Amino acid sequence: MSKEHWFLKQETEKDTKYTIKGSEVYQTLYPQIKDKIDKNESVIDILTWIEAEVKTAYNEAYKGSEIELTQGALNNCRGQWNEFLITSFLAEIAIDFYSTHKLYFVPFRLARSGETNKTVKKPKSQKKGTSQETVSTEETVSSEAASKFLALFHKDEFKENKGLHHINQFKDNIFFSSPDYVLSILDDQGLFNQIQPLLNQQANEAESLGTEIYKLLQGKLKAQEVKAVLSVKISNRPDRRYQALYETAMIKAIGYACGQNWKYYMVTAKQASLSDVKIFTKGIAPHGIAIKRELISVDQVYSCSNKQDLIKLVEDALP
């Protein structure tokens, strides 16, 4: 059976190329992926197998085509497939933790940073003497931070004597990329009961591995319910290390200012390099320099080969 539907043809004035529909590939192959997970095959081995299946499907669907499937297209999807696997693992762990500890543990993916509906008013530049000299315009802003992480929290958390009140006056000017995952323990059993079906779906199906839980929790969390933040990658490219470091710097600074003990973990499918371990586990948090204290940015670096590796991280993250 042709798997041509896995690919999308994109034509521009310069060239023609095919992109991969990563979600569709994963859903089609999920029965085999689930079998490999149950056999405890490593994340890297599963990703390599999926990539091989995609290459074979492309060669069969477009035999004789002069357009090659680029490694860049495959790499983009590998990152997505890795997150799908991590989402499944974390959902299984959450189900196990509730079964054994009756803990309302909820791990979830965050939506990507991007455009929001939020607007700010900025003065519109006009020539002197015109009737519109003092008119303001509404301009949509790209929210690279607060919209995704800080938007998790209930508005009351920013009020006086609440968990995040120390940043209330400038929270709309806090910008950083959205973290990949948040680990939380809910206080509200009713809210947890709403999320349980989604956790079950994420543990056993391929259609609900996105940001469904994030959307349900948005604007409802207390600061104290967040326990840890995860950066999840296949490996840490040297040119992208500092994005994660800026991310953890902002989260740790907010946590310190508001008295929240949020942890931050780097998770990679491949074994972390010695330089990664040194940079991430020894690097000083910027606010630590300001207050002359040796505070670390990243709590630990984990190489995630399978679900068992993530269990160790979760046990370290939760009180």
pLDDT tens for the chain, 319 residues long, are 679 999 998 888 788 888 999 999 999 999 999 999 999 999 999 999 999 999 999 999 988 888 889 898 999 999 999 999 999 999 999 999 999 999 999 999 998 765 444 444 444 444 444 444 443 333 444 444 455 899 999 999 999 999 999 999 999 999 998 999 999 999 999 999 999 999 999 999 998 898 999 999 999 999 999 999 999 999 988 878 888 899 999 999 999 999 999 999 999 999 988 988 999 989 999 999 999 999 999 999 999 999 999 999 999 999 8
Q: Is 8 helix (H, G, I), strand (E, B) or coil?
A: strand
- The residue written with tokens 């840890």 in the block is 228
In terms of C-beta distances under 8 Å and separation of at least 24 residues, what long-range contacts does 276-280 make, across chains too? 276/236, 276/241, 276/301, 277/301, 279/241, 279/245, 280/236, 280/241, 280/244, 280/245
Q: How far apart are CA 119 and CA 205, in angstroms?
A: 37
Q: In this predicted structure, what is the pLDDT of residue 147?
A: 55
Q: Two tokens at 90?
A: 């974390």
The pTM of the whole model exceeds 0.75: yes
Q: What domains sit in the chain, N to C, each tagged with a CATH number?
A: 4-89 (no CATH), 90-115+143-317 (3.40.91.10)
Cα–Cα nearest to 302, from 311, 290, 289:
311
Residue 197 — left, alpha, or beta (φ > 0 → left; ψ -120 to 50 → alpha)?
alpha
Q: How many CB atoms lie within 10 A of CB 43?
A: 24
Cβ pair 251, 285 in contact under 8 A? no
Q: Two tokens at 172?
A: 């709309």
Q: In this predicted structure, what is the pLDDT of residue 115?
A: 42
DSSP 8-state secondary structure symbol assigned to residue 64: T
DSSP 8-state secondary structure symbol assigned to residue 284: B
Q: How far apart are CA 211 and CA 110, in angstroms?
A: 6
